[in-house]
Amino acid sequence: MGTNESKQAQRTVKLGSTGPEVFPLGLGCMGMSGMYGATDDAESIRTIQTAIDRGVTLIDTGDFYGMGHNEMLVGRAISGRREKVQLSVKFGALRGPDNSWGGMDTRPAAVKNFVAYSLKRLGVEVIDIYRPARLDPAVPIEDTVGAISDLVKAGYVRHIGLSEVGVETLRRAHRVHPIADLQIEYAVSTRGPEAEIFPVLKELGISATLYGVLSRGLLSGSKPKGKGDYRAYLPRFTGANGEKNEDAVAAIQRFAQERKMTPGQLAIAWVLARQPAFVPVVGSKTVAQLEDALGALSRPLSKEDAAALESLVKVSGDRYGEEQMRHLDSERR
């Protein structure tokens, strides 16, 4: 580990005014349960354990990733290492046995049911940050956060987070119980939160964990690998958008090469340069991908290079399909 990387590794980021101190990069584990094509459990466990050995503390999962597979995988990986990690768990998304999606359920009774199963699958007694994966339009956010607050009082949860919600929901939730962080998509190709959401986070003393920093691999040149790869249904990877975005990817690759970085490192370094108080969550599925991502910590991007990259990257298409975009509270204006 180089000197600069050592300094970065020693630095921590506090999640909100009340949340934990975490390493500057988090590890997102969704891709280890089949969302982006074939996976290897042994390699996934090696990746999680290598991340912990390299100082990564925030491990992000969801109870609906692989219908419980991901939590059990994470549980195996952190066995004997629990005190070194903070577990961020999303809940509430309903799944069918055919992999279908059935909406959200964040009623208080459901919250307590979901957490009971997560604790068992993860093999832990407490979850560090617990958050609904999306806003449930049928349940007031006050009821959901109130139920998680009860779990905090009972010792099953340490901190409360949210995911992909807008400013009104943030304010309402924060009045019930302090929110540690908002998980939201953010990248050089996805800058929507800058306008309204990030200023409100600063005002309320809430942090952010940022996923999709590589735009699901688009910015590093990765493409969908067969029907089981969720990205095959996303606008940025398909049709005319997909063709246009190949030009943006080529430009990123040239920009990165000139600076002796990989495209992935460049995308992560841009986020770290623009939002140093927030934590990118990288979805590395292999040790090699993880090592590449960690390399971004020793290659900080100057303000001039960050601005140059922004002017270069013009990505076509929304981050989700039309129906999903309509249901995102964070996208309501």
Using alpha carbons, select from 280, 231, 269 the residue that is nearest to residue 28.
Answer: 280
SS3 283: coil
Identify whether the C-beta of residue 22 lies closer than 8 Å to the C-beta of residue 12: yes
Neighbours of 205 (CB within 10 A): 15
Rounded distance, CA 299 to CA 320, Å?
Answer: 30
Active site residue 230: no
Neighbours of 201 (CB within 10 A): 24
Rounded distance, CA 317 to CA 304, Å?
Answer: 26
CA 208 from centroid of its chain's CA atoms: 9
Using alpha carbons, select from 219, 268, 216 the residue that is nearest to residue 246.
Answer: 219
Rounded distance, CA 272 to CA 288, Å?
Answer: 21
In DSSP terms, which residues pair with 60 in a beta bridge?
A: 28, 88
SS3 320: coil
Using alpha carbons, select from 32, 13, 29 the residue that is nearest to residue 206.
Answer: 13
Annotated catalytic residue, options 36, 65, 130, 156: 65
Q: Say if residue 29 is exposed, middle or buried (CB neighbours under 10 Å; 0-12, 13-18, 19+).
A: buried
Tell me the catalytic residues: 65
